[in-house]
C-alpha cells in the first residue's frame, strides 16, 4: 500500500493486482493468456517469485514494482523513451518509500 500511496503522491499512474511469475519467457499457446486474464492476472514477469520466496525465507520485506515493456497479446513494445520514463518512475516510487 505504501508504494501505491507514494505513486499517487508523485502523480505516477499505477495499477495494483495479481501478476503471473513464470520461468517461461513466452508461451506459444495464445489461449493460455485467456485463462490468466479470466483469473484477474494483469501481467506476466519472471523475477518476483524468487524475490518473495527469499524474503519469506529470510523474514525480510520485499516489494515488486513492475512496468509494462511489451504486450504479449498485441506484440506492441514500449519505445525506448517510454521504457526509460517507466523505469525512472519505478525508481522514484522506490526512493519515496525506502
3-state secondary structure of 71: coil
Q: Could you identify the residue written with the cell 495464445?
A: 30
- Active-site pick, 23, 34, 70, 82: 70
3-state secondary structure of 50: helix
70 classed as catalytic: yes
Helix (H) or strand (E) holding 18: strand 18-21
Active site residues: 70
Amino acid at each position: 500500500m505504501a508504494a501505491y500511496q507514494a505513486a499517487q503522491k508523485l502523480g505516477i499512474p499505477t495499477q495494483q493486482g495479481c501478476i503471473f511469475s513464470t520461468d517461461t519467457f513466452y508461451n506459444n499457446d495464445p489461449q493460455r493468456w485467456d485463462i490468466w486474464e479470466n483469473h484477474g492476472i494483469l501481467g506476466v514477469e519472471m523475477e518476483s517469485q524468487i524475490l518473495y520466496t527469499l524474503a519469506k525465507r529470510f523474514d525480510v520485506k520485499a516489494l515488486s514494482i513492475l512496468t509494462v515493456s511489451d504486450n504479449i497479446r498485441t506484440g506492441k513494445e514500449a519505445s525506448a523513451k517510454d521504457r526509460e520514463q517507466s523505469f525512472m518512475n519505478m525508481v522514484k516510487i522506490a526512493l519515496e518509500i525506502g
